[in-house]
Structure 1
Amino acid sequence: EIFPVWLSITAVFDEQNTVSHYVAVFSDLTQRKAAERRIDHLAFYDPLTDLPNRRLLLDRLQHALIASTRTGRGGALLFIDLDNFKSLNDIVGRDQADLVLQQVAQRLAGCVRASDTVSRPGSDEFVVMLEDLSEDGQEAARQAESVGEKLLATLSHVYPLAGYTHHSTVSIGIALFSDRQEVVDELIQRAESAMHHAKRAGRDTLCFFNPTMQAVATARAALEASLHEAVQKEQFLLHFQAQVDSYGRVIGAEALLRWQHPERGLVSPTEFIPLLEENRLILPIGQWVLESACDRLAAWATRPELSGLTLAVNVSARQFHDDAFVDHVLAALARSGARPQRLKLELTESLLVNDVQEIITKMAIIKAKGVDFSLDDFGTGYSSLSYLKRLPLDQLKIDQSFIRNILTDPNDAAISKMVVVLAESLGLAVIAEGVETEAQRDILAGQGCHVYQGYLFSRPLPAEGFEEFALRSFIPNYSDHRPAKDLPPGTVNSRPPA
C-alpha cells in the first residue's frame, strides 16, 4: 500500500573520510497527515454539525458576490436562530441540546440545493446562502421567501430526544444581494438584524431586511392567514357577469369568485386568486364554486324565463389536474340535479402545457355527460393548433387584452378576426370578453363574433341582481331575431349603476 513517510538519509564515512554507505530512516506519517487534515477541516467546519463555519461562509459569500456580478443573478442570506434554545439547554442538558442542533443541521441541508451553503457560525445560529436566484429583485425575494417558509415548516417538526420530545420554532431574517460591491460582514449583519426583527414580531416567522420587501411579505402572510379564515367562515360568494347575443338577450353568465372581507369589503380577485393557487386552497374553493354553480343552475331550471341560461365556471390548472376532479364534477351535477348541458367549464391555455392526453381523457368523460368546454384567454401564449384540434372543445373565448385596443391596434383586430375564423373552421362557438363600448361590439360583429361579455352590457352582479337583469332581456316566444335596436325599451344594454 501507498502511505506517506518522512525519509531521513545520513551518509556514513570510513577512516579515509570516504562515504562507505548510507543509513535511511523512514517515519510513517499517516497519523500525522490525518491530524493535519483534521486541523484544516476544523479551521473551516463546525465540529458538532460538520457544517461550514463562519470563516468558510465568508469565503463562499465573497465568491457568490463575484459570481452574482458576473451573471446578473441574485442571491440571499437566511439568518436562522432557534427560539428559546437556552431554555432547552437548561431543561435537558447540553448533550441533548446538541442532538437538536445536529438534527437542525440535517433538516436544513435537506431543504436546499446542493449548490447552496448551509453553515453554523456558532451557538444556535445557522446561515443559509442561496445563489443563482432570479435577476428580478421581486422574484428573487419570492424565491427566498419560499425557501424560508419551507425551512419554518421543516424545523417546526418534533425533535425526538432520549425520553423527551422537543417542539421548536425558529426566527429567520433574509437579506438579498446582487453585486460584489456589497461587504460580506454587512450582509450577515443585515440578515441578523432582520432575524431579530422576526423575534420581536413574535418568533416562528421570517422578515426581510429591505423594508419594502418586508411590507410585501407581511401583507402576503396576513392575506394568506385571512384566506384560511375566509374558507372556515365561508366568506366567499359568487357574482355573475352576463353573456349576451347580438340581439341583446342574456343567454348565460360567467360565475366569478368574490371575497367578502369583514373589514375590507370585496377584495379584488387579482389579489387573492394567485395566492389560492399557490397554497392549494384553490382545490376546496374551486369545488365550492362548482357546487354553488350547479345549485344555481338547478334553481334557474325551475323558472321558465331563466331555464335556458348557461353558466360558465373557471377551472384552474391545479384543480383540473387533481385526481378527483372528474368525480367532483359528476357528483356536483348529480347532487344538485342541474342539467349538464347548461354547465360550461372554462379552461385556460396554461392548462395545455402538461400531459395533454390526460386532459383529453378527463374532458371526454365529463363531456359525455353533456357538459360543454370553453377555452379561456385564447391567444395569450400557449396555444398549439395541433392540441386545439384534438381537444373536445365547444367554444373559444377571445381574451379581453385583444378587445381593449381592437379599434386602434391593427394587430389586435387581426388576432380577434383570426380567432373567429379559426373557431368557425373548427365548428366552435366564439365569445368576446371585456367588451366595454358599442364600437368594440360593432367591429366584433363585423368580424363574425355575435356573443359578448363585458361592462357594456353588465358588470358582475350578485345572483339576485343578475337574475333581474336577465329577466329584463327575456322576451317570451321570441323567435323573429329582430335587431337589438328594435327590441322593447329596457331589454338591451341595460347597464347597472357603477
Structure 2
Amino acid sequence: MLSPAPQAKILVVEDETIVARDIHAQLLEMGYNPVGHATQGEEAIVMVADLLPDLVLMDIQLAGVMDGIAAAQIIRDRYALPVVFLTAYAADDVLARAKLTEPFGYILKPFSERELRTVLEMALFKYQADAKLQATVLHTQAILDNMADGVITINTHGIVESYNLAASTIFGYTPDEVIGHNISMLMPEPYRSEHDHYLQHFRNTGEARIVGVARELEGRRQDGSVFPMSLTVSRIERGQQITFIGLIRDVTQHRLDMEEIRRLAFYDPLTGLPNRRLLLDRLKQAMVTSSRTGQHGALMFLDLDHFKLLNDSLGHDVGDILLQQVATRLTSCVREGDSVARLGGDEFVVLLEALSVHDHEAATQAEAIANKILDHLGRPYQLRANNYTSTPSIGIVVFLEDSETMDELIKKADVAMYQAKAAGRNTTRFFDPAMQAAAATYSELEKDLRNGLANQEFVLHYQVQVKVDNNKLHEPTITGVEALVRWNSGSRGMVPPAQFIQLAEETGMILPLGQWVLETACAQLVEWAKSPRTANWTMAVNVSASQFAKADFVTNVYSALEKTGARPELLKLELTESMLVVDIEEIILKMNAIRARGVSFSLDDFGTGYSSLSYLKRLPLTQLKIDRSFVRDVLTDPSDAVIARTIVALGHSLGLKVIAEGVETEGQRDFLTGIGVDAHQGYLFGKPVGVDALHTL
C-alpha cells in the first residue's frame, strides 16, 4: 500500500457535523493533517484560498446554494487542486455531473477506513505524478523549440504573425498568403473547430491546454489535400503579449517508410502473415502471460502434405497461390488473440493462448482447433484452372509458463509434426505422449458423459443442513438438505463431480443436466411431504452460470415446480458470486420473478468472489453461505475468524440467514454457533448420501 504524504493537508467539506468529526478523527489516525472544515461550497472556496490544502474531501450534498460539484469545479479551475467526492448518492445524473470536474476519487457512504485511506493515497499519488509529468513536458518543450522544421507563430486570437519557408514548402502557401490570416486556414475539420475552442478557452481562463504536448494530426495544403503532420506548440511571453509557436513536420513519408520497414521486418511478403521474428516475439509474450495467469498455451507446427509434388508439377507460382489460400483459411480457424505465422516454404505455426489452467483441458482445446484446421485445409482449392486437394500434418506442444525455451518448444512441435506424418499424414500428434493420452481420455469422457445423460446414469445425493442451539450443541435439528449430483457410470463406476462438472459446462451438457437435477430435487420434496419428519425440509439446488444466463431459466424453474407439484417455499436456489459480475439488472429481474413464486435464493461461497455490497442489498436473497475455505481454519487463522464474524453481521444486518459449509469439527461448530450462524452443513453432521441412507441419520 502507498504511504500517505507526510502531514498532507486536507480540507473536509461536509455539512453533517457528526460525519465531519468522524472523518477528522480518521484522517488524524491515518497521519494526515485536517486543516479545516467547511459546511458550504462558498465557504470551501474561500478556505482553499486561505489554507492552500493538498487535497479537498468534498461532500456532494451541501447546505447553502452551491453543491459540492459546483464548488469542486471552481476549485479545480482556480487552484488545480485534487478533489475527492464523498456522497451517499450514486445516481447516474449525479455521477455524470461529478465526472465533468475530473475528480481524483469518489467514495460512496458509508465507507470503511481502508476505503478512505486507499482513495486518498491514490489521489495524492496521482496528483504528485501529474506534477512530475508536467515538469518533464516543460523540459521537452525547450528541446522541441529548436527543431529546424516548419515554424509558425500566432497570437491568442489565432492570427498568423510569422511563417517560415519550410512551412511554405509544407503547406504550399507563400508567407504573404498566410500572415495576417487565421491559422485555421491550414486545418481540415475537425481540427479547425477544436483549435478555435482551444483559443477561446485560453482567452477565458488563461489555460493553454495543448502547449508542450506533441500531437499527430492532419494539415490542409493550398490544393485542398490533407496530409499527416506532427505538431508541437510552445508559448512565449513578452510583457503582456503572448505568442504561440508551432513546430510542424510533414510525416507522410515517415509513416510510409515505417510501415514498410515493419512489414519487411515482421511479416511474410507472400501471405501477409507474421514471420519467424514476429512469431518469436509473440511466443515470448505468451510465455510471460502464461507465467502470470497460470493458463496453458499451445504451439502447432504444420506442414502441407506433398507440397513439393505440387510445386514440381504445376510450378512455384501455383504453389504460392495455395500458400496464400492456406494462410487465409488458417486465420479463420483460430480465435481472436491467437497467432498464425509462416516460417517459410509450406511450414506454418499456430500459437494458441489463454487455454485452460488444467493440462488435459488445454490439450483438448488445442486438439479441437487442430481438428478444425484439418477440416478447413482439407477442403478443395481452386488454383487457377486446377482443382486441388491438400492436407496438413500437425504437431502440437502444450506449454505452461516459461519452463522451456522458445527454440525447444518449436523443436518439439516440429518433432510432433513428423510423428503426424509418420502416422499417415492428415492428422495431429502431441509431442508429449502423456498429453496425447490425456486428450484422448478427455474426449472419451465427453462421449461417456453424453451417453450417461441419455442412459439416465445420474443420481442425487443429499447433505443435511442443520440448526444448532447454543444450549443443545450435540442435538442438531435437520432443517433441509443440499442436492448434489453424482454420476454412476455404467463403464466407470461412481465418477466424482470434479471430473465431469467442468466438462459439462464446457460442452453445454450442464443445461439438460441442471434441469434434471432441479426436477428430480423437486420430485423428492414431494416424496418427503408424505412424512411428518421430512415434510418441511428445504432443498438447496446449485445453479450454474450458463443455466442462469439462459433466457428461459425462469420458465424452466416454473416448469419444474408445476411438473412435480413441489412447494416453492421449500426450494432454495444457490447462486455463486461470480454470476453477479455480468448484467446485474437482468439477474435481479430473473431473481425477482422466481422469488415471486415463493422460491428462495442463497448466495453460495460468499466472500470468495467480487460481489458489490451496493448490488447485494438489491438482490432478493434469503441466505448467505460462508465458504468452506474460511470455515476450515476459523479456529487457527484470526483473519478467517474475522471474515466469518463479518459475514454473519453483514447477513443479519441485511435481514438474511447465514449458513456455514464445510463444518467438520465440534470446535468449528461451537465457534460458528457462538457468533450467530443460523445453520451448519458439513461432514460433522453427515456426508452426502443417497436418499435411502439419508433417513438413517
- The CA distance in 2 between the partners of 1:292 and 1:97, in whole Å, is 60
Q: Which residue of 2 aligns with 1:146?
A: 365
1:345 Cα deviation (Å)?
Answer: 0.3
Sort the Cα spacing of 1:208 and 1:372 in 2 relative to 1 into closer, same or farther, 3 A: same
1:127 Cα deviation (Å)?
Answer: 2.2
Sort the Cα spacing of 1:386 and 1:191 in 2 relative to 1 into closer, same or farther, 3 A: same
Counterparts of 1:77-476 in structure 2, within 5 Å, are: 77-80=299-302, 104-110=326-332, 111-113=334-336, 116-119=339-342, 121-123=344-346, 126-130=348-352, 133=353, 146-153=365-372, 155-156=374-375, 159=379, 171-174=394-397, 176=399, 182=405, 184=407, 187-197=409-419, 206-211=428-433, 213-246=435-468, 247-466=475-694, 468-469=695-696
Unpaired segments ≥5 residues, structure 2? 1-259, 469-474
1:396–1:430 Cα contact (<8 Å) kept: yes
| Identity rate, percent | 47
Sort the Cα spacing of 1:240 and 1:108 in 2 relative to 1 into closer, same or farther, 3 A: same
1:316–1:347 Cα contact (<8 Å) kept: yes
1:63 Cα deviation (Å)?
Answer: 4.1
Deviations 1:296-339 (A, max 9, x none): 12222233332211111000112111112111111111111111
1:172–1:206 Cα contact (<8 Å) kept: yes
- TM-score in terms of structure 1 length: 0.71
Sort the Cα spacing of 1:363 and 1:75 in 2 relative to 1 into closer, same or farther, 3 A: closer
1:285 Cα deviation (Å)?
Answer: 1.2
1:252 Cα deviation (Å)?
Answer: 0.9
Deviations 1:404-432 (A, max 9, x none): 11111122122111111111111111111
Q: Which residue of 2 aligns with 1:481?
A: none
Sort the Cα spacing of 1:229 and 1:62 in 2 relative to 1 into closer, same or farther, 3 A: same
- The CA distance in 1 between the partners of 2:520 and 2:460, in whole Å, is 8
1:156–1:170 Cα contact (<8 Å) kept: no
2:623–2:659 Cα contact (<8 Å) kept: yes
Which stretch shows the higher mean deviation, 277-286 or 394-403? Answer: 277-286
- Structure 1 counterpart of 2:396, one-letter code: G
Does 1:60 find its partner at 2:274?
Answer: no
- The CA distance in 1 between the partners of 2:637 and 2:411, in whole Å, is 52
Sort the Cα spacing of 1:61 and 1:154 in 2 relative to 1 into closer, same or farther, 3 A: closer
- The CA distance in 2 between the partners of 1:78 and 1:278, in whole Å, is 22
- Structure 1 counterpart of 2:484, one-letter code: L
3-state SS in 1 of match to 2:476: coil
3-state SS in 2 of match to 1:327: helix
- The CA distance in 2 between the partners of 1:236 and 1:168, in whole Å, is 41
- Structure 2 counterpart of 1:418, one-letter code: T
Q: Which residue of 2 aligns with 1:480?
A: none
1:149 Cα deviation (Å)?
Answer: 1.9
1:174–1:195 Cα contact (<8 Å) kept: no
- Structure 1 counterpart of 2:671, one-letter code: I
1:346 Cα deviation (Å)?
Answer: 0.2
Unpaired segments ≥5 residues, structure 1? 1-36, 470-493
- TM-score in terms of structure 2 length: 0.52
Q: Which residue of 2 aligns with 1:28?
A: none
Deviations 1:137-196 (A, max 9, x none): 957996676355234235425836689998978644235487698474x64442132234
- The CA distance in 2 between the partners of 1:150 and 1:437, in whole Å, is 48
Sort the Cα spacing of 1:376 and 1:70 in 2 relative to 1 into closer, same or farther, 3 A: closer
Asked which structure has the greater RCO (Cα within 8 Å, sep 6+), the reply is: 1
Q: Which residue of 1 aligns with 2:182?
A: none
Deviations 1:358-377 (A, max 9, x none): 11000000111110100000
Counterparts of 1:35-46 in structure 2, within 5 Å, are: 45=268
Sort the Cα spacing of 1:129 and 1:445 in 2 relative to 1 into closer, same or farther, 3 A: closer
| Residue correspondences, number | 417
1:141–1:176 Cα contact (<8 Å) kept: no
1:174–1:208 Cα contact (<8 Å) kept: yes
2:303–2:393 Cα contact (<8 Å) kept: yes
3-state SS in 2 of match to 1:173: strand
- The CA distance in 2 between the partners of 1:166 and 1:304, in whole Å, is 72
Sort the Cα spacing of 1:96 and 1:314 in 2 relative to 1 into closer, same or farther, 3 A: farther
1:226 Cα deviation (Å)?
Answer: 2.8
Sort the Cα spacing of 1:365 and 1:68 in 2 relative to 1 into closer, same or farther, 3 A: closer
Sort the Cα spacing of 1:324 and 1:453 in 2 relative to 1 into closer, same or farther, 3 A: same
- Structure 2 counterpart of 1:236, one-letter code: F
1:65–1:178 Cα contact (<8 Å) kept: no
Sort the Cα spacing of 1:336 and 1:68 in 2 relative to 1 into closer, same or farther, 3 A: closer
3-state SS in 1 of match to 2:650: helix
Deviations 1:49-85 (A, max 9, x none): 6656xxx43x334445666788867864212356x87
- Structure 1 counterpart of 2:614, one-letter code: S
Sort the Cα spacing of 1:65 and 1:335 in 2 relative to 1 into closer, same or farther, 3 A: closer
2:396–2:416 Cα contact (<8 Å) kept: yes
1:345–1:371 Cα contact (<8 Å) kept: yes
1:295–1:338 Cα contact (<8 Å) kept: yes
1:400 Cα deviation (Å)?
Answer: 1.0
1:431–1:452 Cα contact (<8 Å) kept: yes
- Structure 1 counterpart of 2:690, one-letter code: P
